[in-house]
Copies of this chain bind each other. A is one copy, B any other.
Amino acid sequence: MAGERLIYMPLGGAGEIGMNAYVYGHGAPGKERLILVDLGVAFPDMDTAPGADVILPDLDWLIQRKDRLEAIFITHAHEDHIGALPHLWPMLKKPIYARKFTAAIARLKFEESGLATDLIRVVEPRPRTVEVGPFKVQFVPVAHSIPESAALVIDTAAGRIVHSGDFKVDETPIVGEPWSDQVMSEIAAERPVKAFMCDSTNVFNSHAGRSESILAAPLGKLIEDAGGMIVATTFASNVARLKTLAEAGRAAGREICLLGRAMKRMVAAAEQTGVLTGFPRNLPPEEALDVPRRHLMLIVTGSQGERRAAAAALSRGKYLGFELKEGDTFLFSSKTIPGNEKDVLRLVNAYSEMGVDVVDEQGGLYHVSGHANRPDLERAHQLLLPDMVIPMHGEHRHLREHVKVAHEAGIAAMIATNGTMLNLTGDVPEVCDRIEAGRVYLDGTVLVGAMDGVIRDRIRMALNGQVTVTVLLDENDQPLGEAWVETMGLTDLGRGGRSLTETLERDLTELIEGAPRKLLKDDDKLDEALKKVARQVTMEEIGKKPEVTVVISRLTVE
């Protein structure tokens, strides 16, 4: 219809890997009906968000327009695509569409959070079509590192969009549906593809992707050759890998035992939804403890060095009765995600101290990625023949490289980072708006804005330490006793071996005792003066500029 437009705006996932959240809209400008694709989390670190539990996309824009939001579509059950649902869905309360396995995981999350699950709706794959407002949406099975990952075909009056989700070109994925050139060609033949929003994670890898199925032989040989107990770790949601590992273990005459809540939960959900069949026999931990170690294989959570997972627990000593020792083998059937290197190496060194042989993925021998490499991306572009490629699911460097890949094939392409709204109505994408798209932190049980200073103050206390200054003033604004100082995260040993606290108290007492009444009457100015001196003295004594809390107590006539 004339005057209507088709828009796209990432609120998360375009400019980082993590917290995917993509908005599509169709309708009159400013009145578009909207859908949201994925609602994931990212994981905080000490450098940028100490103490935060997870990072969520800032949905302010969408929440303000939730009357225009038709539904939420979840492509697959990885945390960076589904993890924010229990935290942010209560502010949206719209139907959630997902395939069976994904919906099962969503339901578990909702139940844990005490949320009603009646708006979680299971969708069969294409040709089944969900109609919501001006959108017709189909789930297209693609291969990935979790069962039932889906690309979305999103049809509107303004044209057809394909949203890749996370995918790889794998025609033998062990569990779940294979990648199909034919299906992609059919999608393009059925109706020309206007825009292809495409996963960019592996754009820098110039080799064609490798199938999950090639791992069985090398894993089998490794396990066959190992002497003591074998402990293997991989991503809990990589059900195909779990199966390959377990089958290799069984083939080598070992009993299998899964350790780690996330892993058992994933396998159970995959079996219950019928996605996973024929998973080898595995023993509960209490039975596995009786198996001689050369006949035992543990498959455990914690491939990224997560401190609460089973792999880390085993690195600290006994865990559920299991204990690694000389002659055992620990296998990382996984890749270290950038940023997790130190945590993973901490495990490796701990195992080394126990005399355990640690085997990493050996440059791909024991692990394959779940994402499409550059030649696979080119292949997908060629099959879908879109008018334009809009890269998503990547840091800026990935998006930029992906645009280059499209341009080299003569396809229009544009980087749209979080908060960039594109108008896709014409032949080429056009930026039509930019909003402030940020992140919020789940911190304990509350949401904290990334820019509101709470996390910044925690970082500052970590870097600089903290000083609390208390002064007590009487009804006439005169000091009652001396200034009182407590420090936290600072050494008390100042210059010449004297106490930092005592020096601070002496100098701050001097300040209040010599201060003019005008200063003592004015809370703000007195606070400022005390802070300044507290910082100066701490700097002189120990070379740190601490965060200072000043408490001024005034006795008032009752």
Contact status of A462 and B51, CB under 8 A, knowing A443-B491, A454-B490, A493-B446: yes
* In the assembled complex, A2 has its CB within 8 A of some CB on chain B: no
* In the assembled complex, A514 has its CB within 8 A of some CB on chain B: no
* In the assembled complex, A156 has its CB within 8 A of some CB on chain B: no
Cβ of A255 to closest chain B Cβ, rounded Å: 28
Bound-complex Cα distance A307 to B491 (A): 26
Q: Which residues of B contact A542 (CB under 8 A)?
A: 443-446
* In the assembled complex, A459 has its CB within 8 A of some CB on chain B: yes
Q: Which residues of B contact A124 (CB under 8 A)?
A: none
The answer on a CB contact under 8 Å between B50 and A397 is: no
Interface readout for A437-458 with B: 1 if CB under 8 Å, 0 if not?
0000001111010001011011
Residue among A348, A395, A448, A470 with most chain B CB within 10 A: A470
The answer on a CB contact under 8 Å between A397 and B551 is: no
Cβ of A52 to closest chain B Cβ, rounded Å: 9
Residue among A353, A489, A543, A556 with most chain B CB within 10 A: A489
The answer on a CB contact under 8 Å between A480 and B397 is: no
The answer on a CB contact under 8 Å between A50 and B45 is: no
Cβ of A467 to closest chain B Cβ, rounded Å: 10
The answer on a CB contact under 8 Å between A553 and B488 is: no
Interface readout for A217-259 with B: 1 if CB under 8 Å, 0 if not?
0000000000000000000000000000000000000000000
Bound-complex Cα distance A356 to B53 (A): 34
The answer on a CB contact under 8 Å between A458 and B465 is: yes
* In the assembled complex, A286 has its CB within 8 A of some CB on chain B: no
* In the assembled complex, A425 has its CB within 8 A of some CB on chain B: no
The answer on a CB contact under 8 Å between B46 and A462 is: yes
Chain B, residue nearest A351 (CB): B397
Contact status of A463 and B551, CB under 8 A, knowing A396-B352, A444-B542: no
Q: Which residues of B contact A349 (CB under 8 A)?
A: 15, 395-397
The answer on a CB contact under 8 Å between A338 and B342 is: yes
Cβ of A312 to closest chain B Cβ, rounded Å: 14
Bound-complex Cα distance A349 to B204 (A): 14
Q: Which residues of B contact A494 (CB under 8 A)?
A: 446
The answer on a CB contact under 8 Å between A352 and B400 is: yes
Bound-complex Cα distance A323 to B108 (A): 51
Chain B, residue nearest A474 (CB): B555
* In the assembled complex, A547 has its CB within 8 A of some CB on chain B: yes
Chain B, residue nearest A469 (CB): B551
Bound-complex Cα distance A50 to B457 (A): 13
* In the assembled complex, A47 has its CB within 8 A of some CB on chain B: yes
* In the assembled complex, A484 has its CB within 8 A of some CB on chain B: yes
Q: Considering the complex, which residues of chain A in the window 510-558 have a beta carbon less than 8 Å from any beta carbon of chain B?
A: 539, 542-544, 547, 549, 551, 553, 555-556
Chain B, residue nearest A51 (CB): B463
The answer on a CB contact under 8 Å between A458 and B454 is: no
The answer on a CB contact under 8 Å between B397 and A348 is: yes
The answer on a CB contact under 8 Å between A480 and B555 is: yes
Q: Which residues of B contact A62 (CB under 8 A)?
A: none
Q: Which residues of B contact A430 (CB under 8 A)?
A: none
The answer on a CB contact under 8 Å between B544 and A444 is: yes
The answer on a CB contact under 8 Å between A543 and B445 is: yes
Chain B, residue nearest A52 (CB): B463
The answer on a CB contact under 8 Å between B544 and A51 is: yes
Interface readout for A473-498 with B: 1 if CB under 8 Å, 0 if not?
00000001100101011110110000
* In the assembled complex, A345 has its CB within 8 A of some CB on chain B: yes
Q: Which residues of B contact A428 (CB under 8 A)?
A: none
Interface residues of A (CB under 8 A from B): 15, 45-47, 50-51, 338-339, 341-342, 345, 348-349, 352-353, 355, 358, 395-397, 399-400, 443-446, 448, 452, 454-455, 457-459, 461-466, 468, 470, 472, 480-481, 484, 486, 488-491, 493-494, 539, 542-544, 547, 549, 551, 553, 555-556
- Pairs A-B, 4 closest by C-beta atoms: A444-B543, A445-B543, A462-B462, A458-B489
